Chain A
Amino acid sequence: MVRKNVNILVAILLSSLLALAGCSSKSTDKASTKNEGTNKPDTFIYGIDGDPGNAVNVISTGDRYGLMEIKTIYSPLYMYNGKDDVKYFLAESMTPSEDFLTYTAKLRKDVKWHDGQPFNADDVVFTYEQMLKEENGGWARSQLLFNNQPVKVEKVDDYTVKFTLPTVSMGAMEALGNIFIMPKHVYEGETNIANSTKNATPVGTGPYKLKEYKAGESVTFVKNDDYFLGAPKIAKVVYRIIMDPNTATMALQKGEINALAIQPSDAGKFKDSNVTIKPYEEGRIGYLAFNLSSKAVQNKEVRQAIAFGLNRDEINTASYVSTDYSKPAYSFLPKKATYFTDKVEKHKFDIKKAKDLLSKTGASNLKLKLAFIANNPIQQKQAAVIQQNLKAAGISVELVGMDATALSKKLQSVQTDFDMYLSGYIMGIDPDTFNSLFVTNGEANYMHYSNTKVDELFNQGRVERDDAKRKTIYEEIQKLIIEDAAFYPLTENKRILAIDSRIKGIDEAGLVPVYTFEDMSKLSY
């Protein structure tokens, strides 16, 4: 009896060990054969660190991964990437009238929705109307308002749509683009687009169709053979959700995934491997800004002293490792924006000047609080260097790390919890799209910055039709804002895509902000 009990235990122990060993050895061969399966060049697996969700729609989906999913399934009329760089999708052309008050879109005639229905002007009008409906909470609604009046969208014939602006706006071409077109025949009569069950089975015109969404795991797409710009070359695209950046990097090295956006500090890991590093411009400006509702920094000379006390190059090298991934920024505009200039005060690192300015203002023993996103590796490093820089200039900086949502919430209100903060933005191409950041009481004016001259110039620039005059206006704005030293641009950084070296056609597919690829159908093995 005693023996028997022991035997049973031993038997259980042994069998469980065997079972473990058994499944591991079995899986060994499986895993290796499977790796070839994964790399079979008919699937492109892109690792992302968020869940785009199943329910996407072109109106209310606004997060990066949701938009990536949208970009794969739907098409816009055109993508505006710069004044002379407009890529047409559903539209063949978009022409402004002489007086810049109406824009006419000519549509493609050969486009079919994924369910086989033909695409026409009704879909376009329907989409813009839904986007303009306030209760839908559309992400692009505000850009379709000009001087608080909505744009009027009318069908001329089946393949022509006319947009009528309430006032002239030189940023209109950009504002009217980049909006994805939804099928009228699917969504007609839907009252709650955000929570509609139809969002789980999107019908688009894009290069890929949604095949399957697996909660927390992956989103799988299959190619749309009827795609109007030619059938995609890769049969299957998978967005694989990986929350942990370390695991993701290892999975890419191993070949379990084919592409991933990586941190600059990880780029070195892919030397001599079958992964290519492709840094690309997103037009993102990373900056340090002052919270002007805080008394300590309301004096312009104090801010200028701080600006001279900061070593921009050191901050950038610490956070972005190399100039391959980040260029110093001097203006509030990215280089790609129209009328960009860097002929502004650069606040070249000059500790003596900083100290002199400080003593002149009489602000001795300055103690400042710097807010940043605590779990953002880039901002952690920026903050640490800024703290050291300013210490040398005689200013003590307290670092206030917080959650991204918490920081953005705090920025939206008037508060004095911190004096400076680190942040960044990706805006448009036309300088007018940046106005909400800098005009008095602008919706995204988190600095609470106010300069009547700047306000005036932004208003002039918006309606000025003469190119040369507009240029002078926006160059003046760039100078003024930097002179006020409330906004200290740090870097124009790139997004770093690490991608399987076998993948071709990346340049044809086009690397663009937010979506990564402008047209995935051009990728191939």
Chain B
Amino acid sequence: MLKYIFKRILQAIPLLFIISIICFTLIQLAPYDAVDAMTTPNMTKKTVELIKARYGLDQPAYMQYFYWVKGILSGEWGYSIVTHESITKDLTARIPNTILLVLPAYILALLFSIILGLIAGAKKGKLADKIIDGLSSFGIAIPSFWMAMILVFIFGHRLNIFPILGMHTIGNEESFSDLLSHMVLPCTVLMLSFMPELVRYVRSSTIGQLSEDYVMVQRAYGAHSTSILFRHVLRNVLLPIITIVGMSLPMLVTGAVVTETVFGWPGIGTYFVKAIQGFDYPVVMAIMLLSASLVILGNLVSDILYSIVDPRIKGMGE
């Protein structure tokens, strides 16, 4: 078991390096230069040279890559070239805000999806299934910004129940209930956008489980269908969910880009969008690298968890 985990971790390290090289190369290949974002047309050539030299942009690409990786390993992610803020500082201020939004939404979505998915799977083809499955299709098709605007319009503007802007009311930053009321709308949007796929996943895996032999055996013994569903099927359905949960790790950073922008939530999403618009290369690279690393990490975590839950997995790895 430990050997398997160790092996998986070792495999992840070169992957991380490859990712970092890809990130860096893509940015280098981009048609615009980081210098363009820092300089204005009315600067003289000499000023531009001086600015390049200050940021190390006059060095060859491999040296720039080396400095960049060295900085990242020592926790120094560099400076935004647009606002001159330290990226480390910016990220540490914003990541918790995004997690605060995504985590409760995801947990709730997971919870509801399991219940709805089980019901739909068990009642396959019946009305309940048709409704749940239909709503899921609908949910997948709806863009989240549109849903967000609708909710903002109805609950924020017309009914005036919830605030629509940001995390806090100005001058009320300490109040927890204020924070909660700001969270309701964006959390709902996120939850509704996470749910459809999860519901479908649980539903199809329930249907799969219900045709297994052990269900038939239970039925033959005369067990109640609810009992079969929650005692036996649920357990087998939950197992693959571990994979999904692990792989959704990167969502904690980039899962709310659109929703954050609509609600003016001060998380990574708004920061990322702004950085892309402003050609803020160091910021774009940092977030790209971060989310790519989380994908690898998420896979690693879910593989390890899975091997713990289902020891047969590690045999396959060897």
Contacts and interface: CB of A to CB of B under 8 A. Distances in A.
Contacts of B28: none
A199 B224 CA distance: 69
A497 interface: no
Contact of B266 (A26, A214, A247, A248): A214
B270 interface: yes
Contact of B111 (A1, A16, A51): A16
Interface string A1-29: 11001100100110010001001101110
Nearest to B159: A28
Contacts of B3: none
B169 A37 contact: yes
Interface in B60-80: 79-80
Nearest to A2: B227
A13 B111 contact: yes
Contacts of B51: 135, 137
B108 interface: yes
Interface in A389-425: 403-406, 409, 412
Contact of A250 (B90, B156, B267): B156
A142 interface: yes
B29 interface: no
Contacts of A35: 160
B37 A405 contact: yes
Contacts of A51: 83, 270-271, 274
B184 A27 contact: yes
A324 interface: no
Contact of B170 (A53, A137, A238): A238
A339 B164 CA distance: 48
A246 interface: yes
A141 interface: yes
A26 B180 contact: yes
A143 B46 CA distance: 16
Interface string B106-131: 00100100010000000000000000
Contacts of B171: 37-38, 40, 43, 236
Interface in B226-281: 226-227, 230-231, 261-264, 266-267, 270-271, 273-274, 277-279
Given A6-B230, A16-B108, A217-B266, A194 B42 contact: no
Interface in A437-458: 443-444
B289 interface: no
B47 A241 contact: no
A84 interface: no
B1 interface: no
Interface stretch (A55-63, A224-232, A291-299): A55-63
A31 interface: yes
B38 interface: yes
B47 A247 contact: no
Contacts of A348: none
Contacts of A257: 165
A256 B164 contact: yes
B162 interface: yes
B79 A141 contact: no
Given A26-B181, A218-B170, A244-B262, A50 B274 contact: yes
Given A38-B171, A134-B46, A13 B115 contact: yes
Interface in B19-58: 31-32, 36-44, 46-47, 50-51, 54
Contacts of B178: 27, 30, 34
Given A28-B161, A244-B261, A405-B278, A250 B152 contact: yes
A215 B169 contact: no
B90 A240 contact: no
Nearest to A412: B41
A367 B97 CA distance: 51
Contact of B50 (A5, A135, A218): A135
A192 interface: yes
B111 A32 contact: no
Of the listed residues A54, A199, A247, the one surrounded by the most CB atoms of chain B closer than 10 A to its CB is A247
A40 B171 CA distance: 10
A199 B40 CA distance: 21
B210 interface: no
A443 B45 CA distance: 11
Contacts of B82: 53, 63
Nearest to A12: B111
A195 interface: yes
B163 interface: yes
Contact of A23 (B89, B181, B266): B181
A5 B233 CA distance: 13
Contacts of A1: 231
Contacts of A216: 93-94, 97, 266-267, 270-271
Contacts of B84: 53, 55, 60, 194-195, 199
Contacts of A217: 166-168, 264, 266
A27 B177 contact: yes
B226 A2 contact: yes
A195 B42 contact: no
Contacts of A385: none
Contacts of B40: 62, 139
Contacts of A360: none
A215 B32 contact: no
A4 to B, nearest CB: 10
A192 B79 CA distance: 13
Contacts of B230: 2, 5-6, 9
Given A217-B166, A218-B170, A137 B50 contact: yes
25 contacts: A2-B230, A20-B184, A23-B180, A23-B181, A24-B181, A26-B177, A28-B162, A30-B181, A43-B170, A52-B83, A53-B82, A54-B83, A134-B44, A137-B50, A214-B266, A215-B266, A241-B270, A242-B165, A246-B262, A247-B152, A250-B156, A256-B163, A256-B164, A403-B277, A412-B41
7 smallest beta-carbon distances between A and B, as pairs: A27-B181, A53-B83, A216-B266, A217-B266, A2-B227, A215-B93, A142-B42
Interface of A: 1-2, 5-6, 9, 12-13, 16, 20, 23-24, 26-28, 30-32, 34-35, 37-38, 40, 43, 45, 50-55, 60, 62-63, 66, 134-135, 137, 139, 141-142, 192, 194-195, 199, 214-218, 220, 236, 238, 240-244, 246-248, 250-251, 253-254, 256-257, 403-406, 409, 412, 436, 443-444
